[in-house]
Amino acid sequence: MKRDVWLTFLPPVLLAAALRVFAASQMVFRPDGSKSKFFLQEDAIGCAVVIGVPALLVFGAIRLRRARNIKLDLCLLVLSAATSAAILFMNLGEPYWRLYWNKARYDAVAMQRSGAPIVVFDWGDTSRFFILFGHVKEYLVIARGNAAVTLDRYAGHEIASWGDERMEINGLLSSAWNENDIQKRFKLRRFDACVMRVSHLLGSYYYLADRC
């Protein structure tokens, strides 16, 4: 009986965990400035909905057909689905891990520009799997003084693609960028509907994700 219990509960949970860890590793180990497509947490959730739910229904039907105790197996399947969903939606703190993985290099750059109010690292402009023409622009920012005060004011706050808040953030980021690359990096295309979210990681480090 114990073996049957684990055979009913574990497979969806293990698959969800593997999918979530894979998505996390894509963020943590991706090269800075990458423009190649990679797998986001939202993509893992999308795979679970599009592929995982039908697979779970088939798996559940097979397990229930072979079950000695249908009520127990049904409860285990529901618990397995709930656990899998919790794993997929779990925040693993990928930006923190990515920062720690490369922190020595970022700290070295910060020391070379000790007088700069803001230093911006291009973390990537990446196409999204489940959203047609969607992409994510990511930045790691070292902010000091008034720049840090500005980002702290917006931390945890979603910033729309237009308006005074957006102009302030774009102006702040552009001030640290090479003039030849400003238009290419920050110019919004006509059909973009970007929403930026600012997160304070640690110390003077901030993570900005612009999701379009």
What is the Cα–Cα distance from 151 to 178, expressed in whole angstroms? 21
Indicate the pTM of the whole model: 0.84
C-alpha pair distances (Å), 35 with each of 30, 54, 96, 103, 122: 10, 32, 21, 21, 10
Closest Cα partner for 72 from 161, 5, 164?
Answer: 5
pLDDT, averaged across the chain: 87
Listed as ranges, residues in the chain with pLDDT below 70 are 1, 129-133, 179, 181, 183-184, 186-193
Q: What is the pLDDT of residue 121?
A: 92
Nearest CA to 98 among 134, 132, 124, 74? 124
Spatial distance between the Cα atoms of 108 and 94, rounded to a whole number of angstroms: 22
Q: How much is the pLDDT for 5? A: 77
The pLDDT tens digits of the residues spanning 42-97 come to: 889 988 998 999 999 999 898 888 878 888 889 999 999 999 999 999 999 999 99
User: Residue 36, SS3?
Assistant: coil
pLDDT of residue 193: 67
Predicted pLDDT at 186: 67
Sign of the alpha-carbon torsion through 184, 186, 188, 193: positive
Model pLDDT, residue 6 = 81
Write down the residue that tokens 């697979």 correspond to: 55
